[in-house]
Structure 1
Amino acid sequence: MAQPATGYPNRPIRLVIATPPGSTPDVGARLLAQYLTEDLKQPVIVENKPGVNGLIAVREVLKSPADGYTVLVAPSSTMAVTPHVYKKQAGQVLNDFSAVSQIYQTDMSLIVRSGEGLESVGALLDAARKSPGKLTAAYAAVGSASHVAIELFKQQAGVDIYTVPFNTSPAAALAVASGNADLLFETVASTEPVVSSGRAKRIAMTGASRFKLVPTLPTVAESGVPRFVITTWAGAFVPRGVAPDRIATLSSAIGKVLANRDMARKLHTAGLLPGDASAPSFEAFWRAEAALWEKTVAQSKALQQE
């Protein structure tokens, strides 16, 4: 049953993050928690519950009262892709949550091993076509953004690339840096440690146009795979039944944080752009994204799970 909004919040708020520490959603959520604590005058506690591409966190939050004190922070892969990858879970994600705010949005980057001659998307495509199945792509988990990205890339480019799952995005990036994989689609935040160390190289971004935080990098679309476009995001969600006034309070507070110049600067440093904090507009955006990915997953057997 929905709880009245009067006096909300008057005790700590729990942010349950659907990804592990150090992941891109975790970075965004922890920055958000710092500023929300100041704005709401209540502690905002961060708790990571990774696993099954976010479904462990989904179940954890749905066990909590619908009172606005337990908030799910999850990426687009969990909220828009996973419901169609794990079809039995679709209702749990799409029917049992309300959107609060988009926290950030970003394009993914394509990284490759340094010194392997894969200096451009064109060179990568040439290598893949010359030796089908020889190149190896890492990805974070079944149904993750990195998994969706490589499967779409293979489909649209018409190439055969062997794929290997890893437990987390940082682990997948490390696999490329250490020579256990040749390429990876992941966010700037997750790949920055291996790129800045020189062990991997970022060769393209996945947006429809050049990403404004790294404008010198071409897009995959302009580099030989013209229909390939992927952007990712993370948002805050609450179980259905939370009072509309409480959702509005949370959304307004997050919007205030995202408008803070210092917060925006820190997000930019992590390769992220502040999201749209309006609950109604984010709800509509999320539903549209889920409908789009339903069609995409249906076309890929590699993405379909029980």
Structure 2
Amino acid sequence: MKKFKALAVVSLLMAVSAPLKASDYPSKPVRIVVGFPPGQTTDIIARKLAQRLTNTLGQSFYVENRPGVGAGLAAELVARAEPDGYTLLATSSGPMAVNRWVYNNLKYDVKRDFKPIALIGTFPLVLVTSRGSRFPTMKDLIAYAKSHPGRINYGSGGNGVTNHLVMEMFKERAGVDLTHVPYKGGVAAMTDVIAGQVDVMFEVVSIAEPLIRQGKLKALAVASDKRVSTLPDVPTVGELGYPNFRGDPWVGVVAPKGLPPPVLAKLTAAIDGTVKSPEWQKEVALLGATPSTMGHAEFSDFIQAEIVRWGDAAKRANVRAD
């Protein structure tokens, strides 16, 4: 009997320590944590991705929203999760590349705690003003700002968020002084831009475009390398005299560090197949996004470069979160 028990223990230990095969994953539902409220761009993309991964991999992929601290609470949760592929993070440039520069005492480190899986797409920002604004074009806005320093105000979703930093980049490139009005979320800021209480702001195309189409907002320029398909008549900031100006947040998927290579390979292949599909590209393009097929190695290098890019902007503007 003792010999039998010993053999049973050895067999159990061998099973536990056996390398995970790609065919074994997933064997139960997979949680995709999102650090933003439902309806925000990252959340929308995560839900679309979850549905396609469910269809592709034969297990339920579902979204769990954990907003707070610039999506840092969700990042911290996933950083501490078991690295088995059953807890993933759908994340963006904010928590991955910006937060370390604007928040004190972050409880996660991007390089130490995460395994990048895939970049899904980039989401350009558009510079908007109210429909009845006194600024018909971006050039008119800049001309007025130069002759009236500090008189134009701009809104953002809060100190240190992406659309705040992009406007600080814009101020530096254009050589103008604008007054920042931070809000607790982009919706509140956008509401005041529509009402004319705030002059301008940068917002993600997917959120601003319906309001532009309804005549509530006027688009002055897009902060991307090329024009956006859903706003084909709106020039880029570069076209208007400021070459290579980019303000394009992105969305990608990461996992806790230590993710087994077979699981990483399977997730990368499934996401890559999704993003390359014509259906996905058409659907995401309607959100003003540029789909991406960047895999985990390239995505890792991309995140490190983004940390430097956004860090430079935050330091030059001396930005700290509330």
Q: Same fold (TM over 0.5)?
A: yes
1:8 to 8, 12, 25: 25
Quick one: structure 1 residues 99 and 240, their matched pair in 2 at CA, closer, same or farther if it must change by over 3 Å? Answer: same
CA distance in 1, matches of 2:221, 2:18: 47
2:208 to 164, 168, 191: 191
* 3-state SS in 2 of match to 1:68: coil
Is 1:229 aligned to residue 246 of structure 2? yes
CA distance in 2, matches of 1:273, 1:8: 29
Quick one: structure 1 residues 244 and 2, their matched pair in 2 at CA, closer, same or farther if it must change by over 3 Å? Answer: farther
* 3-state SS in 2 of match to 1:222: coil
TM-score computed with the length of structure 2 as normaliser:
0.88
C-alpha distance after superposition, 1:246-271 (max 9, x if no partner): 11111111111112211111101111
2:75 to 58, 73, 88: 58
1:241 to 248, 258, 263: 258
* 3-state SS in 1 of match to 2:124: strand
Is 2:35–2:65's contact at 8 Å kept on the other side of the alignment? yes
Is 1:85 aligned to residue 85 of structure 2? no
CA distance in 2, matches of 1:244, 1:97: 14
CA distance in 2, matches of 1:51, 1:42: 28
TM-score computed with the length of structure 1 as normaliser:
0.92
Q: 1:232, CA displacement in angstroms?
A: 1.9
2:310 to 289, 293, 299: 293
Quick one: structure 1 residues 234 and 36, their matched pair in 2 at CA, closer, same or farther if it must change by over 3 Å? Answer: same
Is 2:168–2:313's contact at 8 Å kept on the other side of the alignment? no
Is 2:229–2:288's contact at 8 Å kept on the other side of the alignment? no
Q: Which amino acid aligns with 1:145?
A: T
Which shifted more, 215-224 or 230-239? 215-224
Partner residue of 2:138? 121
Q: Which amino acid aligns with 1:294?
A: G
Is 1:98–1:237's contact at 8 Å kept on the other side of the alignment? yes
CA distance in 1, matches of 2:203, 2:17: 38
Q: 1:98, CA displacement in angstroms?
A: 1.1
CA distance in 2, matches of 1:175, 1:3: 58
1:76 to 89, 93, 96: 93
* 3-state SS in 2 of match to 1:95: helix
CA distance in 2, matches of 1:89, 1:108: 26
CA distance in 2, matches of 1:220, 1:90: 36
Mapping for residues 65-214 of structure 1, pairs under 5 Å: 65-86=82-103, 88-89=105-106, 92-214=109-231
Structure 2 unaligned blocks of 5 or more: 1-15
Is 1:2–1:66's contact at 8 Å kept on the other side of the alignment? no
Partner residue of 1:216? 233
Is 1:32 aligned to residue 34 of structure 2? no
Q: Which amino acid aligns with 2:91?
A: A
Is 1:257 aligned to residue 274 of structure 2? yes
Partner residue of 2:8? none
Identity of aligned residues (%): 32
Is 2:229–2:285's contact at 8 Å kept on the other side of the alignment? no
CA distance in 2, matches of 1:25, 1:276: 17
CA radius of gyration, larger in: 2
Is 1:101–1:276's contact at 8 Å kept on the other side of the alignment? yes
C-alpha distance after superposition, 1:44-87 (max 9, x if no partner): 11111122211011112123211111111111122111122225
Q: 1:175, CA displacement in angstroms?
A: 2.3
* 3-state SS in 1 of match to 2:285: helix
CA distance in 2, matches of 1:153, 1:134: 16
* 3-state SS in 2 of match to 1:186: strand
Q: Which amino acid aligns with 1:255?
A: D
Q: Which amino acid aligns with 2:182?
A: P
Is 1:156–1:227's contact at 8 Å kept on the other side of the alignment? no
